[in-house]
Chains A and B, each alone.
Chain A
Amino acid sequence: MGQVTLRGVSKHYGTVEAVRDFDLKVMDREFLVLLGPSGCGKSTVLRIIAGLEDPDEGTVEIGDRVVNDVEPKDRNIAMVFQNYALYPHMTVHRNIDFPLKCRGMPKPERDGLVAEAAESLGLTPLLDRRPAQLSGGQRQRVALARAIVRRPEVFLMDEPLSNLDAKLRVQTRTELIELQRRLATTVVYVTHDQIEGMTMANRLAVMNEGALEQVAPPSEVYAHPASLFVAQFIGNPPMNTVIGKPARVDGELGIETSGGQIPLTPGQCQAVEASSAESVAVGMRPERITIASSGPLPATVAVVESLGSEHHVICRLADDQEVVVRLGTDVPVPKEGARVHLGFEAGHLHLFDAATGDRIGL
């Protein structure tokens, strides 16, 4: 079975802690996306699973066995590298054939498998070309073919789409998902592109500075980010955050910011009290904010960006903090310089302890 389990894995290079105390279970046949900013250790995690890097601590399991001491070639994995790592002196056919040949498979059998893999990725007319004679997208498919030809249990992919142009990237995204469903294999997919993560993943594993922040389905990560980092990392335009202190006005607990008092739901009040956070970061998704003539947060409209299908209204609060509001084309858009009030449903706010970044409440 193709599940992958990391237990207490850590790895450092010199003084850099690339991966810290990492626990992750990837289910059989799951498409798991490791998402995080550049340098957060995603590639390192993938390379540890592949066996290209030894963890300092912890165990790696693939299927039902611990593979810490198993060579990469015997782990029953295949990897697609960011730059594809095709052998430049071999034809497409030989590139796809190479892993089979290395395993000593007889030629007739190999030829059948290569033809099949090439066919499924539309590479048949290109079999006699060399990588230098292919476009980026074609190279990418050769790399995929080389990976699938062995029928591994687990595919590891390190930013496989990052070298493609925007249009091809979108198209290949879909193809990759279809391929994964068809082959019914487990995929661990590394990217720093949140759109790839959101659209492709069964579950997202969001990383920051070598540690896991949250592992959950994309919708869950978006709706209930587990930390301030995840909240700000996922979503475009990113979530607005306003920092304030819990305070009572007329007996009602709210978050007092220098731009105004933000009211809370009873559940949130309880959670804030229970958390004993001194300073609270209030997160508001841009599409959850309304612009009206009255409301809790007075603001001035600084800039209006029109994207055709939507408008981004950048507002400035009384204390100069910026808040971005996303409006559809069906609502009136305020003029730049207008004085407005921002409103929102308390239930759609996200609260975090500003000191630790932990989520407060559900």
Chain B
Amino acid sequence: MLIFAVFVFYPFARNIYLSMYSTPPFPNLPSQFVGLSQYGQVLVSHNFLNSLWVTALFVVYTVPAGLVLGLLLALLAHQKLRGIRAFRTVFASPVATSVAVASVIFFTLLNPQVGLFTYWLGQQDQLSVLDNPTWALVAVSVVTIWQNVGLAFILMSAGLQAVPDELLEACEIDGAKRWARLRHVILPLLSPTIFFAVVVGTILSLQSFGQIDLLTQGGPLQRTNLLVYNIYDQVFNQNNAGRAAVMAIALFWITLVLALIQIRLLERRVTYAN
């Protein structure tokens, strides 16, 4: 309880406190109580709205793609084939890779001079995609998807394991073809897992930080300035703890509301009384 208080409640309260003080432009000047007025300012600022938009795009790019890929790989790995164990390990390995390692791998692959990807794409010696305002967010998303696929794969595999073999055999005898079996039996039975993966995936995506810090630092032109990175940037580079605190609270509410909406929406579709 004490640990909880120190690491959760205190920062939370402190954050609310901070959000009501405007941070002075120069250090050492006393910060000033401005109450809720700072919220109005920050929440309509271009910087915040841009972050919000970029974050939304990022979630849309990463969550469904990661989920679908994870599901496909899990379906593939679930087949009774020789040597499938090795595949399972390979598919799951991104989870075990830290954000830092993944970022470095992709940073190298995308490097304009020596990167393999740039070589394949025939874009050698041009601007790295990470510096390209149009493609930077996509590139960062790809790294994130690659990272999240492992988790989605593990979740989906566990879900598939839980589908009773007898049901799949009943399908075989009833004459359900591959697609019908997937659509009418496997996916409905997997829906609680998928639902869980969507919620967790969204929260994870909203909190992405490491890959931005290592790959783009929010650039180019703030096109990858995700909320969490922006908060970090405000505190440590712009020295504006007040703004950061407001954004943190905004992020908290966004996450909470999204999760609640998802739970409401999806719960209705996935429950079948047991």
| Chain A interfacial positions (CB closer than 8 Å to B) | 50-52, 71-74, 77-79, 81-83, 85, 87-90, 98-99, 102-103, 130, 132-133, 146
Given contacts A130-B272, A132-B274, contact A85 B172 (CB under 8 A): no
| Chain B interfacial positions (CB closer than 8 Å to A) | 164, 166-167, 169-170, 172-177, 180, 184-185, 188-189, 272-274
- Residue in chain A with minimal CB distance to B166: A85
- Residue in chain A with minimal CB distance to B189: A89
Measured CB to CB, the closest approach of chain A to B175, in angstroms, equals: 3
Bound Cα distance A51, B164 (Å): 18
- Residue pair B166, A81 in contact (C-beta under 8 Å): yes
Contacts between the two chains (Cβ within 8 Å), count? 60
Bound Cα distance A222, B272 (Å): 48
* Contacting residues, chain A, for B188 (C-beta < 8 A): 89
* Contacting residues, chain A, for B170 (C-beta < 8 A): 79, 81, 85, 87
- Residue pair A79, B272 in contact (C-beta under 8 Å): no
- Residue pair A73, B274 in contact (C-beta under 8 Å): no
Bound Cα distance A282, B230 (Å): 90
* Contacting residues, chain B, for A51 (C-beta < 8 A): 172
Measured CB to CB, the closest approach of chain B to A266, in angstroms, equals: 55
- Residue in chain B with minimal CB distance to A78: B173
Measured CB to CB, the closest approach of chain B to A48, in angstroms, equals: 13
Measured CB to CB, the closest approach of chain A to B159, in angstroms, equals: 14
- Residue pair A50, B173 in contact (C-beta under 8 Å): yes
- Residue pair B272, A132 in contact (C-beta under 8 Å): yes
Measured CB to CB, the closest approach of chain B to A65, in angstroms, equals: 18
- Residue pair A132, B172 in contact (C-beta under 8 Å): no
Bound Cα distance A130, B189 (Å): 14
- Residue pair B274, A79 in contact (C-beta under 8 Å): no
Question: Knowing that A73-B172, A85-B166, A130-B273 are A-B contacts, what are 16 other residue pairs whose CB atoms are under 8 Å apart, sorted by A's residue number?
Answer: A50-B173, A73-B174, A74-B175, A77-B173, A79-B170, A81-B166, A81-B169, A81-B170, A83-B166, A87-B170, A87-B184, A89-B188, A102-B180, A103-B175, A132-B272, A133-B273
- Residue in chain B with minimal CB distance to A79: B173
Given contacts A83-B166, A98-B184, contact A89 B272 (CB under 8 A): yes
